[in-house]
C-alpha cells in the first residue's frame, strides 16, 4: 500500500478501560502491521500526531492515545504522575495482540514512554523519546512556569482570544488546533502533571531502559542541553541520542517532515538491528 493510500484510510477510534476510567485511542494503517503508539505532551491530545500517523509507510499500524485528563479520555480529579500514566499504558499494551508496540513519546509523553518501557520491557518493542524534560528529584527544576500552560487555557475559556494568541508566536501557528487541545485538557491534569515534572524520577527510569531506544533533543528548546545529553549517554549507554539543532520543542508541529523522517529512521534502525541479531 503506497503512502498516499495510507493517508486516505479512515481513522479508527476505540476505548480501553483503564484503572480510573476510559482511555481513548485513534489509529490508522495496516491493522496487522507493526504497532506504533504515539504519546503526546502536557496540553495536547492524540490528534497532535494524526498528520504523521497517516504518512507512515507500509506494514505499520499507527495509534495514538489521549492521556488521562485530555481529549476523550476520562478526567479524574487526581492521579497525574508517571505511575498513573504507566498504569493506563499497561491496560492498553497488555491487551495488544501480536508484536509489542514501538512507543513514540513527545515531551511529557516521552517521560511516560521511558517509565513504561523501564517497568515493562516485555510489552515494548522500542521507544523513541522526543525532547523529554529532564527535571526530577536532584535535577534542575522544570524550566517552564505553570502559568505558561494554564493562563492561555483560562484566556480561552473567558473568550479572550487576543491574550490566548499572545502565548504562541511561532510562524504559521495553528491557533484553532491549540484551542481544541487546551479545551480538551482538564485543569487538574495540567496542574498536577506540571508538579510531577519536578517529583517524578525520570533519570531512574532512563537508567533502567533495556529495549531499543533513541532520545532526540530539540536544540532550540530549553529542556536538554548538550551537557545534559552527554550525562544521559553516561547514565545509559544503551540509549542512542541525537540532536536536532535549531528546532523548537514541538518538533511534530514545527518540523513535521523532519519528525516523520526521525520516526521512520528509528523504525528502520530497529529492523536492521533485528536482522543482525
Q: What is the mean pLDDT of each run of 10 residues along the chain (277 residues)?
A: 51 96 96 94 97 92 97 98 98 89 98 98 97 97 97 96 93 92 97 98 98 97 96 97 95 95 94 62
Query: Which CATH number does the domain housing residue 249 bear?
Result: 3.40.50.1820
User: Helix 82-93 vs helix 108-119: angle between axes, to the nearest 10 degrees?
Assistant: 60
* Residue 120 to residue 19: CA distance in whole angstroms: 17
> What pLDDT score does 162 carry?
96
> What pLDDT score does 97 carry?
80
In angstroms, what CA-CA distances link 164 with 146, 149, 180?
Answer: 15, 11, 12
Residue reference for cell 544503551: 238
Tally of helices (H runs) and strands (E runs) in the chain: 12, 8
Residue 33 domain flag? yes
- Residues 69, 185 contacting (CB under 8 angstroms): yes
Residue 2 domain flag? no
Residue 3 domain flag? no
* Residue 96 to residue 35: CA distance in whole angstroms: 9
**Number of domains comprising the chain:** 1
In angstroms, what CA-CA distances link 177 with 49, 109, 253?
Answer: 12, 19, 11
> What pLDDT score does 5 carry?
46
* Residue 90 to residue 81: CA distance in whole angstroms: 14
The C-alpha cell of 133 is what?
Answer: 524534560
Quote the domain boundaries for residue 192. Answer: 10-276
Residue 20 domain flag? yes
Residue 4 domain flag? no
> What pLDDT score does 69 carry?
98
Residue 1 domain flag? no
- Residues 188, 75 contacting (CB under 8 angstroms): yes
Residues 6+ apart with CB under 8 A from 10: 28
Residue 231 domain flag? yes
Residue 142 domain flag? yes
Amino acid at each position: 500500500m503506497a503512502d498516499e493510500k495510507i493517508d486516505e484510510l479512515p481513522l479508527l477510534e476505540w476505548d480501553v478501560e483503564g484503572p480510573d476510567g476510559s482511555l481513548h485511542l485513534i489509529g490508522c494503517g495496516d491493522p496487522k502491521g507493526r504497532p506504533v503508539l504515539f504519546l503526546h505532551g502536557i496540553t495536547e491530545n492524540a490528534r497532535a500526531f494524526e498528520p504523521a500517523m497517516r504518512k507512515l509507510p507500509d506494514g505499520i499500524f499507527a495509534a495514538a492515545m489521549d492521556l488521562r485528563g485530555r481529549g476523550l479520555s476520562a478526567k479524574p480529579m487526581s492521579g497525574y504522575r508517571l505511575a498513573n500514566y504507566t498504569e493506563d499504558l499497561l491496560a492498553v499494551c497488555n491487551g495488544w495482540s501480536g508484536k509489542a508496540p514501538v512507543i513514540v513519546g513527545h515531551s511529557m509523553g516521552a517521560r511516560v514512554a521511558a517509565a513504561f518501557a523501564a517497568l515493562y520491557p516485555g510489552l515494548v518493542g522500542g521507544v523513541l523519546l522526543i525532547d523529554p524534560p529532564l527535571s526530577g528529584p536532584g535535577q534542575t527544576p522544570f524550566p517552564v512556569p505553570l502559568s505558561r500552560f494554564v493562563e492561555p487555557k483560562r484566556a480561552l475559556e473567558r473568550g479572550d482570544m487576543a491574550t490566548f494568541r499572545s502565548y504562541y508566536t511561532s510562524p504559521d501557528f495553528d491557533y484553532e488546533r491549540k484551542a481544541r487541545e487546551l479545551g480538551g485538557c482538564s485543569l487538574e491534569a495540567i496542574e498536577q502533571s506540571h508538579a510531577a515534572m519536578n517529583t517524578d524520577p525520570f533519570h531512574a527510569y532512563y537508567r533502567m531502559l533495556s529495549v531499543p531506544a533513541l532520545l532526540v533533543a530539540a536544540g532550540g528548546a530549553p529542556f536538554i542541553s548538550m551537557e545534559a545529553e552527554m550525562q544521559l549517554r553516561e547514565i545509559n549507554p544503551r540509549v542512542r541520542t541525537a540532536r536536532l539543532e535549531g528546532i523548537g520543542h514541538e518538533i511534530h508541529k514545527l518540523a513535521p517532515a523532519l519528525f516523520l523522517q526521525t520516526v521512520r529512521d528509528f523504525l528502520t534502525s530497529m529492523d536492521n538491528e533485528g536482522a543482525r541479531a
